[in-house]
Amino acid sequence: MAKPTSRFVCQTCGATHRKWSGKCDDCGAWNSIVEEAVSEALPKSVATGGRRIDFVALSGASSDEQRFVSGIGEFDRVAGGGLVPGSATLVGGDPGIGKSTLLLQVTAALSQHGAAVYVSGEEAVDQVRMRAKRMGLAQAPVQLAAATAVRDIVASLDLPEAPLAAVIDSIQTMFVDTLDSAPGTVAQVRAAAQELIRVAKRRGTALLLVGHVTKEGTIAGPRVLEHMVDTVLYFEGERGHHFRILRAVKNRFGPTDEIGVFEMTDRGLVEVSNPSALFLGDREGNKVSGAAVFAGMEGTRPLLVEIQALVAPTAFGTPRRAVIGWDAARLHMVLAVLEARCGVPLAGRDVYLNVAGGLKVQEPAADLAVAAALLSSLNDCPVPAETVIFGEIGLSGEVRPVSQMESRLKEGAKLGFGAAIMPRRRQRGERGEAEIARREISHLGELVALFERESAQPRRPGPRDAAPAKGAR
């Protein structure tokens, strides 16, 4: 039987199929299967005679951990304290979110300490220059090139005087000429990344690959890249909001729960070192019901965000639950606990939940703030004035302690909040130093009772519920 000369590869998950079909059986993606030629020859680098590897002990005298620190604090922290020589970092994000802008700034900052290369496969040299000029970086000694041929890039990086850092923008435009498939296909992206990572490891260059994300949210050409690199950073933000968040989802050299906050301005990205003030910036005090301030943690840093809820009578048989910026499954859990353990009638109501400013909150510690926002909207009664809230809710309605409570309280106090609704601590007596009134609760019922007491008049269902929780901004 003749050997197949082509195969069909899903561009979303990388699965290979023997024939084309409209839907990938592996990942369920539609219209993602593309024909790729099967190359007969093995990759050339393997065919040549190998050399013996020198095995070493774990406890060897390794060179001290050295990192390339760019000086852009928000970026360095997310990268785990700077870029590691010879490491590969994938920076993913939606098209137009600001990846090129960020990495041009990082390259310019690194070029102050040593050679830094920026290879653009998407923009011409003049375009990058124009952007750099607008951002006030035109004088930075960045080595700029517009290229897409991986063979040429590898030849330029594989030198004794290899650069400190190299940015490839983007990996989807890179082209390996030993493969027949088009740039951007799984095979091309994988091969290009492999070649570039290999030379970066050999020469100790910190490699930064830009990867566009498909509309489903995975980096196109995709999971195959995530395991090949050392660090995966996502650059995200809501369209229409001016700030951007850099988040580590994988990091072999540092924590993955750090975020970096930037603001997109007409002169590029500006670091936001006090994000709480940014996220609470346009808050209208505590006049409206349905808004609660959550004292969260993002990695080592406390972050205050406003959680907004709107509880409205439902017009349909099945109530609508819409969530932006939080886990929908957790919202359903909080609703179920409120209903079943505290007798709060929510079954016949639509619930909308929004984390202000387009931030995505991932901590379970937000449960209590979400419950407070829901109860506040339901009772049409604002959350007690200048109060931060945090705590995890268990299925029986108990409120559980969360990590780093003292840091959360301190951040609240720093931003002028006078009180906190929080879980009861295990060891009583020990008082932290944060100057903030603590209202400790151990069961969700106490929060429900609080709102029932606070709401002066009996609840008036109906249009009042629709009082804007500042949701539609």
Give the rounded distance of the alpha carbon of 93 from its chain centre. Answer: 9
Taking the least distance from each CB to Mg ion, the nearer of 97 and 402 is 97
Question: Which one of residues 97, 150, 171, 409 is an interface residue with ligand TYD (CB under 6 A)?
Answer: 97
Peptide bond into 289 cis (omega under 30): no
241 binds ligand TYD (CB under 6 A): no
Q: Residue 289 touches which of ligand TYD, Mg ion, none (CB < 5 to 8 A by kind)?
A: none
Q: Which residues pair with 179 in a beta bridge?
A: none
Separation between Cα atoms, residue 365 and residue 202, nearest integer Å: 44
In the complex, which residue's CB is closest to Mg ion?
Answer: 100
311 binds ligand TYD (CB under 6 A): no
Taking the least distance from each CB to Mg ion, the nearer of 97 and 162 is 97
135 binds ligand TYD (CB under 6 A): yes
100 binds Mg ion (CB under 5 A): yes
141 binds ligand TYD (CB under 6 A): no
Separation between Cα atoms, residue 372 and residue 382, nearest integer Å: 9
Question: Look-up: residue for tokens 């909001």?
Answer: 241
Separation between Cα atoms, residue 241 and residue 222, nearest integer Å: 27
95 binds ligand TYD (CB under 6 A): yes
Total number of residues that touch ligand TYD (CB under 6 A): 15
Question: What backbone phi and psi angles, to 5 degrees, belong to 132?
Answer: -60, -40
State the nearest-atom distance from the C-beta of 364 to ligand TYD, in Å.
31
**Cα dihedral sign, 457-458-463-466:** positive
Taking the least distance from each CB to Mg ion, the nearer of 100 and 376 is 100
Taking the least distance from each CB to Mg ion, the nearer of 116 and 409 is 116
CB 326 within 8 A of CB 355: yes
Taking the least distance from each CB to ligand TYD, the nearer of 5 and 127 is 127
Separation between Cα atoms, residue 120 and residue 146, nearest integer Å: 5
Selected range binding Mg ion among 23-31, 98-106, 376-384, 406-414, rule: CB under 5 A? 98-106
266 binds ligand TYD (CB under 6 A): yes
Taking the least distance from each CB to ligand TYD, the nearer of 137 and 311 is 137
Q: Which residues pair with 168 in a beta bridge?
A: 119, 209
Residue 9: exposure state from Cβ atoms within 10 A (0-12, 13-18, ≥19): buried
Question: Which one of residues 10, 29, 82, 99 is an interface residue with ligand TYD (CB under 6 A)?
Answer: 99
Taking the least distance from each CB to Mg ion, the nearer of 169 and 298 is 169
Total number of residues that touch Mg ion (CB under 5 A): 1
Selected range binding Mg ion among 94-102, 229-237, 348-356, 403-411, rule: CB under 5 A? 94-102
What's the CA dihedral at 334, 336, 339, 342 to 10 degrees? -60
Q: Are strands 392-393 and 387-389 parallel, antiparallel or unpaired?
A: unpaired
105 binds Mg ion (CB under 5 A): no
Helix (H/G/I), strand (E/B), else coil: 37: strand
Residue 235: exposure state from Cβ atoms within 10 A (0-12, 13-18, ≥19): buried
Question: Which one of residues 28, 43, 96, 217 is an interface residue with ligand TYD (CB under 6 A)?
Answer: 96
* Residues engaged in binding Mg ion (CB under 5 A): 100
* Residues engaged in binding ligand TYD (CB under 6 A): 93, 95-101, 131, 134-135, 264, 266-268
